[in-house]
Amino acid sequence: MRRPILAGNWKMNTCRESARALASALAEQVPASRDDVEVIVCPPAVYLETVLAAASGSGLQVGGQNSSDQEPGAFTGETACEMLTDLGCSSVIIGHSERRQFYGECDSVVNSKTKKALASGLKAIVCVGELLDQREAGKTKAVLESQMTGSLADLSVEDMANVVIAYEPVWAIGTGKVASNEQAEEAHACLRTWLEGRFNSDVAAATRILYGGSVKPDNAAGLLSQPNVDGALVGGASLKPELFIPIIDAGAATVA
């Protein structure tokens, strides 16, 4: 049984007060005793401490949106994994398509960041996903397999206990164009088959694969009920409790 994860990627949004208010509203929904789903919020780095304070005592987990593959040192503008764990973060998003597209992160960078996050005790939420032209050219499976091969290079079976995969088709991010339930399921099944071939059937059965890209309250139930969809990585809709809470509920309904 894979416990669903509902994760909110706030991207470069919120201010200190709205971050605090959003985290408080979500923390109320996620008491420490809640064990049906995992809920993670990933605020901008400068608000991590504010959000961690608001989440304190609850079951709401807090993660980074990005981290360095380096030890603390002379790397201007970067956030070390050690800093995330020092604050109390559980996890970090690695290789989001916006990092890949706008900051030149290739699979080998994603791989070294993933290894560093795991070595630091963080759960790594590793993102993959095809561009629209790649999908239209029938290359989705090849693109996903190649991203997985590069991003998870050298990882062991034991490492995989702390890896979560996020399938985010780039054409569905922030566009309102959501993948159909069938498109999401097909891609997730392909990723799970890849995990079985690269690792083993236990890893394939245990690894959570989240869908991301225009998840909203009205499409969440359909996506989350697909057999290989184990949660969601939500952008825009994670910024409003009235949108994110129904998505959490939709995740919980799949295990009820």
Active site members? 96, 168
Question: Least Å distance between CB 232 and ligand 13P?
Answer: 8
Question: Least Å distance between CB 235 and ligand 13P?
Answer: 2
Side-chain-side CA neighbours of residue 184 (13 Å): 31
The Cα 120–Cα 250 span in angstroms is 32
Nearer to ligand 13P, 235 or 251 (CB): 235
Residues near ligand 13P, by CB under 6 A: 9, 96, 168, 173-174, 212-215, 233-237
Question: Least Å distance between CB 177 and ligand 13P?
Answer: 9
Nearer to ligand 13P, 158 or 242 (CB): 242
Do residues 247 and 237 lie in contact, with contact meaning Cβ atoms separated by under 8 Å? yes
Residue least distant from ligand 13P (Cβ): 235
Question: Least Å distance between CB 256 and ligand 13P?
Answer: 24
Candidates 125, 115, 105; CA nearest to 71 is 115
Do residues 204 and 226 lie in contact, with contact meaning Cβ atoms separated by under 8 Å? no
Rg (C-alpha) for the chain, rounded Å, is 17
Report residue 93 as tokens.
């998003």
Question: Least Å distance between CB 168 and ligand 13P?
Answer: 5
- What are the CA-CA distances from residue 136 to residues 98, 130, 143, 148, 171 (Å)? 20, 10, 12, 20, 11
Nearer to ligand 13P, 23 or 127 (CB): 127
Do residues 38 and 55 lie in contact, with contact meaning Cβ atoms separated by under 8 Å? no
Nearer to ligand 13P, 22 or 233 (CB): 233
Nearer to ligand 13P, 193 or 217 (CB): 217
